[in-house]
Amino acid sequence: MSILTRDRIYFLSKDPHWSFIWWQVNWAQISSPGARVIRVHDVTDIIFDGHNSHHYVELNNIDATDHWYFQLPLPARNYCAEIGIKTDTDFSAVVRSNTLFVPRAEPSASHEERWSTYELG
């Protein structure tokens, strides 16, 4: 399979509240009936297996585009995005993204100074 035709997804952080998702899926090779959806999972502090996220948000009706700006539920969390087919009873992932760490929304509350010393020579 050529790199130009393989299914893929990119999940990028814009800021602590927004992300950008871009995907390329060859839907002609997928014969499963159902709706095409994006799921964004909160995978903070877990080893994600596709079913054990803390919670997820689902975006429907993605047929007309190949990218999406997505408002993240919470900053300072880890997220993973999936493109898949949803039926009444099941979800089948077609492609899964990298894990994205989203930074916190405010500066650190710590005012402690930390100095490092280095010996030259």
**Phi and psi based region of residue 89 (left: phi greater than 0; alpha: psi -120 to 50; beta: remaining):** alpha
Q: What integer pLDDT is reported at residue 5 of this predicted model?
A: 67
Per DSSP, helices labelled H in 23-107 are none
* Domains with residue ranges and CATH for the chain: 8-101 (2.60.40.10)
CB contact set of 36 (below 8 Å; sequence gap of 6+): 27, 62, 63, 83, 84, 85, 86
Q: Give buried/exposed letters for 6-18 (b at 16+ CB in 10 A, else e).
A: eeebebebeebee
pLDDT in single tens digits along all 121 residues of the chain: 555 568 999 999 999 999 999 999 998 888 888 999 999 999 999 999 999 999 999 999 898 899 999 999 999 999 999 999 999 999 999 999 999 999 999 887 888 888 888 888 7
pLDDT of residue 4: 58
